Amino acid sequence: MAPHRKSRPPSPMGIRTPALATAALTSVALLSQTANASPAEEPRPSLEEVEKKVDDLYRQAETAGEKYNAAKEKTTKQKKRVDTLLDDVARRTEKLNDAREELGTFAAAQYRTGAAAPDTASLLLADNPQDYFDQTQLMDRLTSRQKQSVDDYVTQQTATTEKRQEASESLETLTRTQSSLKTSKADVQRKLATARDLLSKLTAEEKARLAAIERKKQEEAQRKADELARQQAADAERRRQEAAQGTGTSTGSGSASGTSGSGSGSAASTAKADKALAFARAQIGKPYVWGASGPGSYDCSGLTQAAWKAAGVTLPRTTWDQVKAGTTVSVNSAQPGDLVFFYDDISHVGIYIGDGMMIHAPKPGAYVREESIYYMPIHSVVRPA
């Protein structure tokens, strides 16, 4: 007969119904998936955001490019100065050696005759010969010719020391400028690489939409250029009528429509502007390359500098200096050949050709071309001196 045992009630923790088991397994699976899942990808920027970012990067690259141009120009000037100083130091050192040799000859002669040889030898070894002279009576024992040799030696030593110090300081300045040059170059390359990376991620459809946005921007800029052309033509006609009636009150600030606009510029200045424009037109189609000033490629200020150089006018290298190299005029008074500067930081420039249009080297990946001056926000218009 089986023993009687008092059964224990099952523990609540031990109960495993099918529904609870399924829920537990599901929770474990979800936790496992969450733990193993990679971080969520950042949402793709909108096309408008990409366009703005790329435009900003190109602008920043152009600004960094102008800094590069400034550092490069400064480096060239400083290197020439350092080379000149080093040549001067070499010549002075040679003269110093000649003076030292002549003093050595006198010392040897004095030694043979037993006259003041130790004093002369001390002179040659002294760090500061002038101090030595102030403390001894050597000069009283030297002949007139010997005194002149000593004076020459002291003069050459002082001048050589000063020039060596000047050359050393110039070399330090050159080193700092070269470092700035490398920094600006790296900055340009980094920004352009970021822009290229953003554009490379666009789909074919997005690239087509981006091109449509660009066309719309071009059309609006052209509309404004046409308005300026009409305004300039009307102003020119009004001045002609006033001149014919003898009632003209214009001071002759001048404006232009096309390349035949009127103005107060002399025939010589007009001829120079024509030469600058002819050169600029001949560069249309050549690629934009930051830091380039021709003849195969250009950046914006490199093109304007080269164009006016062809007309016999020397402009500075950077936009920041070119904007100071002439007379500021209003946009309505712009004449062919004038320089049109853009953005608050004056980081871009083109050469005005009339009818609200310019020739410029736009940006990386583009070519020298004609374009409305309203394609970018205008900063000022300058007539080269």
89, 103, 276, 300: which is the annotated catalytic residue? 300
Residue with tokens 């930051």: 290
Our answer to whether residue 379 is catalytic in this structure is no
Task: Decide the pairing of beta strands 339-342 and 378-384.
Answer: antiparallel
- Residues ≥6 apart with Cβ < 8 Å to 345: 63
Question: What residues does 382 pair with on adjacent strands?
Answer: 328, 339
Do 339 and 351 contact (CB within 8 A), yes or no?
Answer: yes
Q: Cα–Cα distance between 343 and 356 in angstroms, integer?
A: 17
348, 363, 379, 383: which is the annotated catalytic residue? 348
Our answer to whether residue 359 is catalytic in this structure is no
Do 347 and 314 contact (CB within 8 A), yes or no?
Answer: no
Sign of CA dihedral 30, 34, 36, 38: positive
Q: Cα–Cα distance between 121 and 115 in angstroms, integer?
A: 12
Q: Cα–Cα distance between 149 and 102 in angstroms, integer?
A: 7
For residue 224, which phi and psi values (nearest 5 degrees)? Answer: -65, -35
Sign of CA dihedral 371, 375, 381, 385: negative
Our answer to whether residue 4 is catalytic in this structure is no
Instruction: Report the run of H or E that residue 94 belongs to, with start and end.
Output: helix 47-113
Active site residues: 300, 348, 360
